[in-house]
């Protein structure tokens, strides 16, 4: 499938599933080397990161945990800049190395908001792994530890990412046709 139509928009393929899997393997390799021996809990940010979290987690080769949080910041195709509160956070992260798993970091508002709240739960350390990163859109100074791919500032769907709730099931990543 080279082109798909989701609701009122056309999308064309931009990152193939095989390429996604190659990058995740490389990211997992880095994390396996860096964090072996630490008490690690992965923190998947729902909904978008569920596919990335699942694929990456399967490739982690040391004993560790995973849990999920929910936030929401997007209406349609433009970041609203307002981020709602975190749902599902608890004391489990105290003293642990937390690895945030994001599908995509765009402006960075969501990430900053999550980190600010997480600090209150006293983790030992917070690391950030995002599959996709839009450098031209990023407005924050927080360094990102693990990046799968840098992409242009276009609206994309697939591999967990949605357009108004649809398109998450696509195996490949598609960008909007302008
Ligand atoms: P930020 O707060 O601007 O960094 O946006 C973060 C959230 O917006 C991500 O976790 C996604 O859920 C969503 N998002 C950002 N860019 C896209 C996109 O191109 N397609 C779909 N969702 C996106
Ligand atoms: Mg997200």
Domain ranges of the chain: 19-151
Does any ligand 1 atom lie closer than 6 A to the CB of residue 15?
A: no
pLDDT range class, residue 83, cuts 50, 70, 90: low
- CA distances 10 to 52, 80, 152, Å, are 24, 22, 18
Å from CA of 63 to ligand 1 middle: 30
Give the CATH architecture of domain 19-151. 3-Layer(aba) Sandwich (3.40)
Does any ligand 1 atom lie closer than 6 A to the CB of residue 97?
A: no
How far does CA 6 lie from the centroid of its chain? 21
Q: Of 30-44, 65-79, 105-119, give the lowest mean pLDDT range.
A: 65-79
Per-residue confidence (pLDDT) for residue 82, from 0 to 100: 63
Of ligand 1's atoms, which has the minimum distance to the CA of residue 49?
10
Closest ligand to Cα 114: 1
Per-residue confidence (pLDDT) for residue 165, from 0 to 100: 96
**Three-state SS letters, 98-154:** EEEEEEEECCCHHHHHHHHHHHCCCCCEEEEEEEEECCCCCCCCCCCCEEEEECCCC
Using alpha carbons only, what angle is made at residue 178 by residues 135 and 153, rounded to the nearest 5 degrees? 5
Residue 91 has pLDDT above 90, yes or no: no
3-class state of residue 83 by DSSP: coil
pTM above 0.75, yes or no: yes
Per-residue confidence (pLDDT) for residue 1, from 0 to 100: 75
pLDDT range class, residue 90, cuts 50, 70, 90: confident
3-class state of residue 55 by DSSP: helix
Does any ligand 1 atom lie closer than 6 A to the CB of residue 114?
A: no
Å from CA of 38 to ligand 2 middle: 25
For the chain, what is the mean pLDDT? Answer: 93
Of ligand 1's atoms, which has the minimum distance to the CA of residue 48?
12
**CA-nearest residue, atom 11 of ligand 1:** 104
User: pLDDT tens digit string along 122-160?
Assistant: 999 999 999 999 999 999 999 999 999 999 999 999 999
Tell me how far apart the alpha carbons of residues 98 and 32 are, in angstroms, rounded to a whole number.
14
Identify the CA nearest to 132 among candidates 103, 155, 112: 103
Quick one: what percent of the chain has pLDDT higher than 70?
Answer: 93
Of ligand 1's atoms, which has the minimum distance to the CA of residue 109?
2
Residue 38 has pLDDT above 90, yes or no: yes
3-class state of residue 89 by DSSP: coil
Q: Which long-range contacts (CB under 8 A, 24 or more apart) does 8-12 make?
A: 9/77, 9/163, 9/176, 9/177, 10/176, 10/177, 11/156, 11/157, 11/158, 11/163, 11/167, 11/174, 11/175, 11/176, 11/177, 12/174, 12/175, 12/177
Does any ligand 1 atom lie closer than 6 A to the CB of residue 74?
A: yes
pLDDT range class, residue 97, cuts 50, 70, 90: very high
Tell me how far apart the alpha carbons of residues 157 and 103 are, in angstroms, rounded to a whole number.
11
Identify the CA nearest to 101 among candidates 58, 59, 138, 56: 56
Per-residue confidence (pLDDT) for residue 152, from 0 to 100: 97
Judge whether 162 counts as a catalytic residue. Answer: no
Per-residue confidence (pLDDT) for residue 75, from 0 to 100: 55
Does any ligand 1 atom lie closer than 6 A to the CB of residue 103?
A: yes
Per-residue confidence (pLDDT) for residue 98, from 0 to 100: 98
Residue 14 has pLDDT above 70, yes or no: yes
Choose the catalytic residue: 55, 106, 145, 172.
106
Residue 11 has pLDDT above 80, yes or no: yes
């Amino acid at each position: 499938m080279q082109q798909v139509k989701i609701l009122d928009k056309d999308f064309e393929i931009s990152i193939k599933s095989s390429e996604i899997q190659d990058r995740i393997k490389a990211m997992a390799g880095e994390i396996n080397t860096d964090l072996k021996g630490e008490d690690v809990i992965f923190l998947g940010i729902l909904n978008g990161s569920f596919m990335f979290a699942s694929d990456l987690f399967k490739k982690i080769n040391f004993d560790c945990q995973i849990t999920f949080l929910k936030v929401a910041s997007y209406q349609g195709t433009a970041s609203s800049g307002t981020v709602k509160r975190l749902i599902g956070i608890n004391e489990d992260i105290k003293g642990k190395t937390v690895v945030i798993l994001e599908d995509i970091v765009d402006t960075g508002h969501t990430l900053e908001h999550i980190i600010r709240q997480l600090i209150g739960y006293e983790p030992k350390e917070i690391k950030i792994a995002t599959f996709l990163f839009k450098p031209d859109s990023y407005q924050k100074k927080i360094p990102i530890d693990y990046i799968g791919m840098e992409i242009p500032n276009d609206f994309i769907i697939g591999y967990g990412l949605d357009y108004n709730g649809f398109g998450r099931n696509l195996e490949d990543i598609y960008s909007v046709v302008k």
